[in-house]
Structure formats: C-alpha cells, structure tokens
Structure 1
C-alpha cells in the first residue's frame, strides 16, 4: 500500500481561486519546484502555489505538467479535471543526482582512499561541485545588481557574503578533511570487505570465512514486576 506521502492534490482553492498543490514527500516537492511551483512554509504544513502574475493558460500548463511528472514517478495525484492528463514524460537524472552518487560511494567505502576520492569531486579547486556552487552564487549576485527594486543591492551583498564566508568555510574544512583522509591509507575497521574465503592457516576447513563473529550482546533483563501486580 502506498504511504500517505505518495498522495498529492492539485486544485484551485474554492475560496481564493488560487492554484495550490498539497501533500507529497520531499521528492514530490522537488518535482513541483522543477515544474515551476513556489513552496510556502506554514506552521502546520508546507504547500506549493503557482507564481504570481501567470495567465490562466500558463497556470493550466504548469499544473498539467506537474500532474504528468508526478504520476510518471509513481505518485497518486488528485486534480481538477482541467489538469488531468495521460501524459507520462521521461525521467532524466537531475544535477543533484551526481552528489547523491558521491554520498552512496562514501556509504559503501571501506578505505580512507575511497572516501578521499569521492570528496575530491566536491572540493576540487577549479571544477569541484562547491566551486561551481560559488560560481552560481556570484552569477546570481551579479544579476541582482542589475535589477531596480530597493532590496536588490542588499540581496546581492547577502549572496556574496554567503560565498565569501559560509561557503568558503565549508570548502576549506572539507578540503582539509579530504587531504587528511588521503594521507591515512587505512581500511575502516567496521567496513572490511568479506571475501568469504578461508585462510590457509585455518585448521577447521569447514569454516565459511575468516571474518570474526559479530559481537554478542547480553540479553536485556525484563523490567521488574510492580509490587501491586504480584499475587
């Protein structure tokens, strides 16, 4: 049975007429954002709305695209009849999937060298992921410098502050971590790969492998019986 997080609703609010999407898990929220919805965080829920200033035709196109893409990923979507569609667009890897791949490599790593290699994709000085994030923030700050609302220069300065202070700290700390791991050349004691082979010095040849048995834990004693329950 699908969990409740696999269900969404995309409808016009009967009171305000606003086109809203409610429900779903973080994966569904990412689909909505990629289609063009804007997330709204409230005290008891997070929902999504269409951007302001769209025509009814553009809102319908946006909502129909969201229904199609969510259903293509296995979500159950209830929607107004105007947004219903049988289209199921192809699913392509996102830019973030490369970072998820690095995380999976680190979770499966058994040596410090393997983790150092994975972290290099993040910390490489010229073309690492964090260097590219800094470039994106700088480009966005430059874009805000050319806009004409009073808050735009402050937003540009805030983006540059994030790049020069917070992101620089993350890049520096991760690069130091990567370099320290690259110098260690050791296996993780809790992640040794099991070859399922018996050592040549093993006298009991019926043994399955040479791995030490898992640690035994003492059984937890039952809680004491309350005095009032004894007979």
Structure 2
C-alpha cells in the first residue's frame, strides 16, 4: 500500500470509529514520537533542508531555514495539539453518541441501513466507458 493510502486509511478508521479509544489508537500511529507519521515527516523536512544547505545557490539557505522552521515550529505545534487530543480521547473511554457498530443487518422495522451507520458506504460502480470511435473517414 502506498504511504499516502496508509495515511488516508487512518482517516477512514477515524470516520468509522464508534469509541474514543478507536480514534486515540489511530492518532497514536500519527503522533508516536519515534515511529509515527508526523515524526517521519519531520525527518523528511530535515533531510530536505540538509540537501538545500549543500546546493550552493543564493536562495538555498533561505529554503533550508524555512524547511527547518516548518519542522521545528509548525509540525511541532500540530503534533502537540494532536497528542493532547489523543490523550484526552484515550482518557475519556466513551462511545460516540451518534455512531454505533453496524452489523449491516436491517431490522424488520427498517427499510434500509441507518444514515449514521459506522460502516463504510458500499463501493461505487463505475459506468462502462463508451465504445471507441473509429478513426478516419469511411467510404
């Protein structure tokens, strides 16, 4: 799975979560100090800054400083806020009031699955492409 898809999967897990613990677990993968996604992003920013330090053009030191600023200030702020959110959710131990675990079964009293179901929506069907147009003129 590509890295971007792995990160997107965390968002899917949060959207499908029915308890605070489930969201806290997903945020842990994002915010872990040594092997979390944000820590890895910080490493990418630092490595790119080091690369720019050695390029030698006039704008390169400015770009390197900007990348370090993003890693040291902005990313740290994001990580801190998400860690605080993760800790608060982990301490809460509560179900989400608007979500419940879905069995994908419809009771006799319901016509279809509830709109607040935590299950992902069914896959979309892609329409078949139109037939190819013949190239050139026919006589």
Which TM-score band applies after superposition, normalised by the shorter structure? 0.7 to 0.9
The structure whose residues are more often helix, as a share, is: 2
2:82 counterpart residue number: 174
Structure 2 Cα separation of the partners of residues 136 and 193 of structure 1: 38
2:25 counterpart residue number: 117
Distance 1:170 1:191, change over 3 A: same
Q: Which runs of 4+ in 1 moved over 4 A?
A: 194-197, 206-209
2:6 to 82, 87, 98: 98
Structure 2 Cα separation of the partners of residues 161 and 174 of structure 1: 19
The structure whose residues are more often strand, as a share, is: 1
Higher relative contact order (CA 8 A, sep 6+): 2
1:136 paired to 2:44 = yes
> Alpha-carbon deviation of 1:94?
1.9
Structure 1 Cα separation of the partners of residues 5 and 47 of structure 2: 23
Give ranges in structure 1 of 5+ residues lacking alignment.
Answer: 1-92, 198-205, 215-231
Distance 1:194 1:150, change over 3 A: closer
1:157 to 65, 73, 81: 65
Give ranges in structure 2 of 5+ residues lacking alignment.
Answer: 116-139
Question: Residues 48-67 of structure 1 correspond to what in structure 2 (within 5 A)?
Answer: none
- Is the contact made by 1:112 and 1:185 (CA closer than 8 Å) also made in structure 2? yes
1:4 counterpart residue number: none
2:96 counterpart residue number: 188
> Alpha-carbon deviation of 1:95?
1.3
What TM-score does the superposition give when structure 2 sets the normalisation length?
0.73
Structure 1 Cα separation of the partners of residues 65 and 108 of structure 2: 66
Question: Residues 216-227 of structure 1 correspond to what in structure 2 (within 5 A)?
Answer: none
What TM-score does the superposition give when structure 1 sets the normalisation length?
0.45
Q: Secondary structure at the match of 1:177?
A: helix
Structure 1 Cα separation of the partners of residues 36 and 43 of structure 2: 11
Which structure has the larger Rg over C-alpha atoms? Answer: 1
Question: Residues 64-79 of structure 1 correspond to what in structure 2 (within 5 A)?
Answer: none
> Alpha-carbon deviation of 1:194?
4.7
Structure 2 Cα separation of the partners of residues 207 and 98 of structure 1: 38
> Alpha-carbon deviation of 1:193?
2.3
> Alpha-carbon deviation of 1:196?
8.5
1:13 counterpart residue number: none
- Is the contact made by 1:196 and 1:208 (CA closer than 8 Å) also made in structure 2? no
